[in-house]
Amino acid sequence: MISDLSDYAVSGHNGRPARAIGGGKTPERSGWELLAWAILEQAVDDLATYCRFGIVTTEGKCLPWPHQVKMITKVSRYGKLGTYPHKIPRVIAGCDGPHEHRSLVAWFKSDAAQEFCDLIGCRLPAAEIFTSTIKNHGGLK
C-alpha cells in the first residue's frame, strides 16, 4: 500500500519530509478567531503608540490630543484680508480624532474588553494587558 502524502509534514529534519503526528495537534483556528486576535493586537499596538507619543501616561491618564497650528489667509465677509491661526489635529497611528485615545483607554478598562479576551481565549486579563502595555511603552509621568 502506498502511503498517503497528507500525513507528511511540509518540512522535516535535514530537508527530508517527516511524519506528522496526528494525536496531539490542535485544530486550525477559524477566520473569525483570527480576526478577533488581530483586533486585540491592533488595539494593543495603538495603545503602545499613544503611550510613546505621550498622550497616555503611565498612570493611564489621557492628555489632550496634539494639534498643529497653521496660519491661513482668508477674506472676511467685509472684504478685509486677514491671517488667522487654524488648529489641525495631528495624525497618530492613522487616527486624527481628538478622542480616539480616550475611547481606547475606556474600552480597555471596561468589562467588554474582559469579555472579548475571554471569548477569544486570551489567558491574560484585559486590565493586565493594559497596565503592562502602558508601563513598558512609557509616556509622560
Which grid cell sits at 68?
498643529
| Chain position carrying cell 481628538 | 98
Within-domain flag for 4: no
Within-domain flag for 7: no
Within-domain flag for 102: yes
Residue 104 has pLDDT above 50, yes or no: yes
Residue 79 has pLDDT above 70, yes or no: yes
Are 20 and 12 spatial neighbours (Cβ–Cβ below 8 Å)?
A: no
Q: What is the domain count for the chain?
A: 1
Q: State the burial class of residue 115 (Cβ atoms within 10 Å of its Cβ: 0-12, 13-18, 19+).
A: exposed
Range of the domain at 85: 30-136
Q: How many CB atoms within 10 Å of residue 141? A: 7
Q: For residue 139, what pLDDT band results from cuts at 50, 70 and 90? A: low
Within-domain flag for 126: yes
Residue 129 has pLDDT above 60, yes or no: yes
Q: How far apart are CA 1 and CA 74, in angstroms?
A: 85
Within-domain flag for 19: no
Are 130 and 44 spatial neighbours (Cβ–Cβ below 8 Å)?
A: no
Q: How far apart are CA 54 and CA 51, in angstroms?
A: 5
Within-domain flag for 84: yes
Half-sphere exposure in the Cβ direction for 123 (13 Å, CA): 0
Compute the average pLDDT of residues 10-19. Answer: 56
Q: What pLDDT sits at residue 71?
A: 93
Q: Please state whether the predicted TM-score (pTM) of the whole model is above 0.85.
A: no
Compute the average pLDDT of residues 75-92. Answer: 89
Within-domain flag for 17: no
Nearest in space to 116 (alpha carbons), one of 60, 54, 33: 33
Q: Which of 10-24, 25-39, 40-54, 112-126 has the lowest mean pLDDT?
A: 10-24
Within-domain flag for 112: yes
Angle, CA of 24, 38 and 124, to the nearest 5°: 65
Residue 139 identity (one-letter amino acid): G
